[in-house]
Amino acid sequence: MMARRLIPNLGQWSSRIFGVECDKKSAVYFALRVDRQADPRGKELKQLFGDGKAFSFHIHCEDRIQRSKIYELLQDKVSSIPSTDCTIMDMSSFLPNAKQSASKGFLLTYSSDSPLTEKVIEDLQQVEAVSVCSYFQERDGMWWQKHLSQKGGGSEICPRYCITLTEKPEVCPTVLNIINNDVFYSFEEAYKVLVECRDIIPESQAVLNLVDQRLDLTERGKFPVIVIEGLDATGKTTLTESLTQTVNGVLLKSPPESLAPLRKRFDCEPPLIRRAFYALGNYITAGQIARESSKAPVIVDRYWHSTAAYAIATAVRGGLGKLPAGGSEVYRWPEDLLRPSLVLLLTLDPAERQSRLRGRGLAHTREEAELEANNLFRQKVEEAYRRIEDPACVIVDASPSPDKVLQQVLLLIKNKCHL
């Protein structure tokens, strides 16, 4: 007997809002409606759902670790359909109160019959935590959302709800999702994620042990703390090493060496887990910065800007215009994380960076590969870097020779940190 799918009751759904990111520029929002009056504004829904078939997939799972794993499965499944057969759009479902983050999913529309698409829909209906809905318009002009239950075994329960266009919510669902799901704004929030995934990722306990042994110092010492940020192959390693020697400083990096053996394991996890790992790396490094900056200048190779910029650029689908505007709360520095004296962002034109990357060797991580394959992702990372505040990055042109870049940086440090 197939386990009965938990179809959310109307109470939970009656006020749900669905946001569909239709393309790089716009989104359509609709909500379930209790009354059943035809909605003359249905033409946007007609455009959204098209003349063919339309299905949405959402995850209903209380456990956020499981939810993040199932979302990756869902993403793999829907992206296995050739784009010639269908249109896939990001869809989020959320309750109007701004505190609750959205449940991420997809809207799939297609006109001509495609066995592969039908197979994917069939397969996803078998995944208990995935809620599959179809969308159709009746002769009276009303649009309906119908929940599809698993085939076979349980009896067909197919509740359906009227839907109607609704206004764009005050807080965009993707921003809701970023906070403490993709980017962590406190130590406790990141720590909780690793505790929750101990059962499925045994290495989490090793990370938690290292984090528990961290230096719980949060105050910067009397010497300057300079963070060097930038995309891969902009020259961070070269500059941090020469700069550390020149100022007789201490070189640190995030994630710290102690987490290096575990990094590969967490780099292949969903964003929720991977970012919590990197966030905890920043807190370990912060303790080391606090200790070392009481004795000498500290140079850091990547820190919170990298964690936030890569996370935001990954979480926000679509173009640069979809990034949260400057000043958004997603760009704010965690209150409990040691702030550096100065953050320098090395920038380089793509062609020069490519040639340095070739000179250095192949990309190692999935993220580095993504950076090279996806110009838009790279632009979003760079733009997210620039929008992070308190402290904001100071832009450095990294195209001159290593020595000239070093001289430029020494001047900046002298002016800004009186070193």
Ligand X SMILES: Nc1ncnc2c1ncn2[C@@H]1O[C@H](COP(=O)(O)OP(=O)(O)O)[C@@H](O)[C@H]1O
Ligand Y SMILES: Nc1nc2c(ncn2[C@H]2C[C@H](O)[C@@H](COP(=O)(O)OP(=O)(O)OP(=O)(O)O)O2)c(=O)[nH]1
- Residues contributing to the site for ligand X (CB under 6 A): 230, 232-238, 356, 359-360, 398, 401-402, 405
Cβ proximity to ligand Y: between 178 and 371 the closer is 371
CB of 159 to ligand Y, least distance (A): 41
Burial bucket for residue 203 (CB in 10 Å: 0-12, 13-18, 19+): middle
Cβ proximity to ligand Y: between 203 and 367 the closer is 367
Instruction: Identify the residue among 182, 229, 269, 301 touching ligand Y (CB under 6 A).
Output: 301
With CA atoms as reference, report the closest residue to 325 among 138, 175, 143. Answer: 175
Cβ proximity to ligand Y: between 302 and 353 the closer is 302
Q: Whole-angstrom Cα distance, residue 299 to residue 226?
A: 5
CB of 316 to ligand X, least distance (A): 23
Cβ proximity to ligand X: between 75 and 408 the closer is 408
375 C-beta neighbours (distance < 10 Å), count: 10
Residue 166 CA, distance from chain mean position: 26
| Residues pairing with 343 in the sheet | 227, 393
Residue 182 binds ligand Y, judged by CB under 6 A: no
Please count the CA atoms within 13 angstroms of the CA of 263 that sit on its side-chain side: 15
* C-alpha to C-alpha distances, 365 to 254, 257, 258, 272, 362, nearest whole angstrom: 15, 17, 18, 17, 9
Give the one entry of ligand Y, ligand X, none that residue 359 binds, where binding means its C-beta sits below a cut-off of 5 to 8 angstroms depending on kind: ligand X
Cβ proximity to ligand Y: between 53 and 275 the closer is 275
Give the one entry of ligand X, ligand Y, none that residue 155 binds, where binding means its C-beta sits below a cut-off of 5 to 8 angstroms depending on kind: none
CB of 236 to ligand Y, least distance (A): 5
Query: For residue 294, what are its two tokens?
Result: 């009481």
Torsion 208-211-213-217 (CA) sign? negative
Residue 148 binds ligand Y, judged by CB under 6 A: no
Give the one entry of ligand X, ligand Y, none that residue 356 binds, where binding means its C-beta sits below a cut-off of 5 to 8 angstroms depending on kind: ligand X
Cβ proximity to ligand X: between 54 and 345 the closer is 345
- The answer to whether the CB of 264 falls within 8 A of the CB of 341 is no
Burial bucket for residue 147 (CB in 10 Å: 0-12, 13-18, 19+): middle
Give the one entry of ligand X, ligand Y, none that residue 19 binds, where binding means its C-beta sits below a cut-off of 5 to 8 angstroms depending on kind: none
Which residue of this chain has its Cβ atom nearest to ligand X in the complex? Answer: 235
Residue 341 binds ligand Y, judged by CB under 6 A: no
Give the one entry of ligand Y, ligand X, none that residue 371 binds, where binding means its C-beta sits below a cut-off of 5 to 8 angstroms depending on kind: ligand Y
Number of helices and strands in the chain (H, E)? 15, 13
With CA atoms as reference, report the closest residue to 45 among 63, 67, 28, 69. Answer: 28
CB of 359 to ligand X, least distance (A): 4
Residue 21 binds ligand Y, judged by CB under 6 A: no
Residue 310 binds ligand Y, judged by CB under 6 A: yes
Q: How does strand 225-230 pair with strand 342-347?
A: parallel
Cβ proximity to ligand Y: between 58 and 274 the closer is 274
CB of 266 to ligand Y, least distance (A): 10
Dmax (CA) of the chain = 78
Cβ proximity to ligand X: between 238 and 254 the closer is 238
Query: What is the dihedral angle through the alpha carbons of 216, 218, 223, 225, rounded to the nearest 10 degrees?
Result: 100
Instruction: Identify the residue among 14, 111, 365, 415 touching ligand Y (CB under 6 A).
Output: 365
CB of 262 to ligand Y, least distance (A): 13
Residue 245 binds ligand Y, judged by CB under 6 A: no
CB of 409 to ligand Y, least distance (A): 16
Please count the CA atoms within 13 angstroms of the CA of 38 that sit on its side-chain side: 8
CB of 306 to ligand Y, least distance (A): 4
CB of 110 to ligand Y, least distance (A): 35
Please count the CA atoms within 13 angstroms of the CA of 160 that sit on its side-chain side: 15
CB of 382 to ligand X, least distance (A): 13
Query: For residue 319, what are its two tokens?
Result: 């173009």
Residue 237 binds ligand Y, judged by CB under 6 A: yes
> Which run of H or of E encompasses 117?
helix 115-125
Give the one entry of ligand X, ligand Y, none that residue 230 binds, where binding means its C-beta sits below a cut-off of 5 to 8 angstroms depending on kind: ligand X
| Residues at the site binding ligand Y, with contacts judged by CB under 6 A | 232, 236-237, 254-255, 278, 301-302, 306-307, 310, 364-365, 367-368, 371
